[in-house]
Amino acid sequence: MISMTRQHAHAARLRRARSAASLLEAFAYLSPSIVLFAVFVFVPLVTTVRLSAFTTDPLGRVSAFVGLAQYARILADPRFVHSIGRTLLFAVFTVPGTLIAGLLLATLGTLRLSKIPLFRMLLSSPLAVSAATASLMFLDMYHPGLGILNYLLGLLHQKPVPWLVNETTALPAVAATTVWLQTGLNTIVLLAGLQDVPQVLHESARIDGAGPVRAYFGITLPLLTPTLFFLLIVDVLAAFQAFTQFHVMTRGGPNGATNVMVYAIYREFYFDGRFGIAAAQSVVLFLIMLAFTLAEFRFFERKVQYA
């Protein structure tokens, strides 16, 4: 009995020593990243959280401690609540669109044609374009009077759309730009995912008499779910963090229709130097993003089929 316990204890000590050694070794590989994250992500985050409990003077220097009252204040501010709504709506406009567009383009990219590599490249080309560049390009196309889009609509005898100038159309217009931008990445990643579906499964599906459509929905899509899940996470986070398009195209207008949270936060500290309030808003944004990601993991990862 006693020797067994000692053996256990000895084994346990060995395990702990090996654990410690492996932890140490792992740290060697992880430390560059961890140090960088600590310095540039976590410490600033903590600083921001700290700042969120204070009011600041126009130069951003801390002036008075207000604690959680600041959060109560911003959550009671209808404009901030409105911007939360705008952000969620923006995510709804961009994410499904991006996933579907990426899927369609990637599927087209699996066609067995000799020139298909060229088309794959063309279809995913938005990846090479920056948000600033795309914003300027779309801004030009969206001009209510002179832009090419309304001109083409006119040729088709349709009424011109006010695009960025009208409250109802502005957010979808910026969302369209964002979908265009994000589709590049989505297409490439989905292409890789599609190519990964083993040929043998297609063969056996055909042998079983399944048509291409049924094969697509019954076999291909389920096998794509890990990729789709990855893209869902990435696209939602990107939607919540979008800034450049809003800054270049609409500056939060018209009438706050495109005043998503990131832009609202930027205006808080940019125009009025209300760093404390901006910091509190950033923390709220962070928590929302965290909640969404956790929810996605909880609800969607179950549906993901790892091969």
Partner 1 sequence: MRRILVVWACAVLASAALGAEPVRVAFWHSMGGDIGGKAIPKLASDFSASQATYVVEPSYQGSYDDSLNKLKAGLMSKDVPAVVQVYDIGTRLMVDLKVATPVQDFIDQEKYDVSDLEPNVLAYYTVDRKLWSMPFNTSNPILYYNKTMFKAAGLDPERPPRTFAEVTEAARRLTLKDSTGKVTQYGVAFAIYGWFVEQFLAVSGAPYVDNGNGRDARAARAVFNGPEGVKILGWWKSMVDEGIMANYGRATTDTRNAFNAGQVAMIIESTAALRGMMDASRGKFELGTSFLPRPSSKDYRTSGTIIGGASLWILKDRPAAEQRGAWEFVKYLAAAPQQAYWHTMSGYYPIRKAGYNEPLDKEWRAKYPPFQTAIEQLHMAPVSRITSGGLIGVFPSARQIVEGAIEQVLAGRATPQAALDDAAGAVTTAIQDYEASVTK
Partner 2 sequence: MSRPPARRRIVTGAWYALLGIVAFVVLFPVLSALTRSLLSDTEISSFPPKLLPFPPHFGSYPRAFAQAPLLRYLLNSAIQSTLVTAGQLLTASCAAFAFAFLRFPGRNVLFLVFLATLMVPWEATIIPNYLLMRALRWTDTFAGLSAPFLGTAFGTFLIRQFMKTLPGELRDAAGIDGCGNARFLLSVALPLSRPALGTLAVYSFLQTWNQYLWPLLVTNNNLMRTVQIGITLLQDEERFMMNTVMAGIMVVLLPTAVLFVLGNRQLIRGLTAGAVKG
Nearest to 259 by CA among 269, 246, 248: 246
Round to whole Å and give the CA distance between 139 and 166.
14
In the complex, the smallest distance separating the C-beta of residue 117 from partner 2, rounded to whole angstroms, is 6
Site for partner 2 in 90-109 (CB under 8 A): 105, 108
Round to whole Å and give the CA distance between 159 and 250.
22
The answer to whether 186 contacts partner 2 (rule: CB under 8 A) is: no
The answer to whether 195 contacts partner 2 (rule: CB under 8 A) is: yes
- Tell me whether residue 66 or residue 129 sits nearer to partner 2 (CB atom): 129
Site for partner 1 in 141-180 (CB under 8 A): 143-146, 154, 157, 159, 162, 164-167
Q: Which of 257, 266, 274, 277 binds partner 2 (CB under 8 A)?
A: 266
Round to whole Å and give the CA distance between 112 and 121.
15
Pair 30, 40: CB distance under 8 Å: no
CA atoms within 13 A on the CB side of 205: 17
In the complex, the smallest distance separating the C-beta of residue 179 from partner 2, rounded to whole angstroms, is 11
- Tell me whether residue 144 or residue 222 sits nearer to partner 1 (CB atom): 144
The answer to whether 226 contacts partner 1 (rule: CB under 8 A) is: no
Contact partner at residue 169 from partner 2, partner 1, none, CB < 5 to 8 Å by partner kind: none
Site for partner 1 in 259-298 (CB under 8 A): 267, 270-274
The answer to whether 5 contacts partner 2 (rule: CB under 8 A) is: no
Contact partner at residue 273 from partner 2, partner 1, none, CB < 5 to 8 Å by partner kind: partner 1
Nearest to 228 by CA among 189, 256, 284, 258: 189
Pair 63, 275: CB distance under 8 Å: no
- Tell me whether residue 181 or residue 257 sits nearer to partner 2 (CB atom): 181
Site for partner 1 in 228-257 (CB under 8 A): 251-256
Which pairs count as long-range contacts for 285-290, CB under 8 Å and 24+ apart, including other chains? 285/87, 285/240, 285/261, 286/45, 288/84, 288/87, 288/240, 288/261, 289/236, 289/237, 289/240, 289/241
- Tell me whether residue 180 or residue 275 sits nearer to partner 1 (CB atom): 275
Round to whole Å and give the CA distance between 295 and 276.
29
- Tell me whether residue 4 or residue 137 sits nearer to partner 2 (CB atom): 137
Binding site for partner 1 (CB under 8 A): 55-61, 63, 143-146, 154, 157, 159, 162, 164-167, 251-256, 267, 270-274
